[in-house]
Structure 1
């Protein structure tokens, strides 16, 4: 069963409360998404650590319920 974009966003926001999250369904099938996650709490983390936080927020759904996620993480703009 495919995963809804709203569910992905809710899981990420629950784990990273300060995150601004944008989810895009890339194929219209509920299986292939792009996510952009921007959070001030990412500031001390490396890119790999940021991505790991997002994947951890999905609670093991990657590769199962959620087939593919193109992930971009970043920091809020300064000004």
Structure 2
């Protein structure tokens, strides 16, 4: 049975966090990890100071961190999903230029750049709201997230070139 320590000697992170770290680093079997590594996790806290678990060189841990920190492959520039988003934005905002890039490869994450005269006099937040309003239906079904959005007036776009 696991013994709980008093609140006065508690480590800076919770016991659950420490156990989950140990689980993810040592084994893919949760039952094995809990039975064999929980006592070690508790005994490492008994000294009163907390130290991070040792780094694991397992392919599972390396694969996850590499997957989580990098963006997916860039999708085709001419995919139907990106073309549909470009057309809707261009039509509803009377845009001079619209670029939609699929960053995930499946149309779920996109980067949007819009140049339109209707942005003149609007704050950055209101400009983004206008773009989100134009693609609201796609945000409810196809698109999961807009990773980055750039909204400029024609004068701002010309100044940046």
> TM-score band, normalised by the shorter chain?
0.7 to 0.9
Q: Residue 39 of structure 1: which of 116, 131, 148 is its match?
A: 116
TM-score using structure 1 length: 0.83
Aligned residue in 1 for 2:149 = 71
Contact 2:96 2:116 in 1 (8 A): yes
> Between Structure 1 and Structure 2, which shows a larger proportion of helix residues?
2
Point out the structure with the larger strand share. Answer: 1
Residues 94, 118 of structure 2: 8 Å contact kept: no
- Show the counterpart of 2:92: 15
Could you tell me which runs of 5 or more consecutive residues in structure 2 were left unpaired when the two chains were aligned.
1-79
User: Are positions 1:30 and 2:30 aligned together?
Assistant: no
Q: How many residues align?
A: 77
The runs of 5 or more residues in structure 1 that have no matched partner are none
Larger gyration radius, structure 1 or structure 2: 2
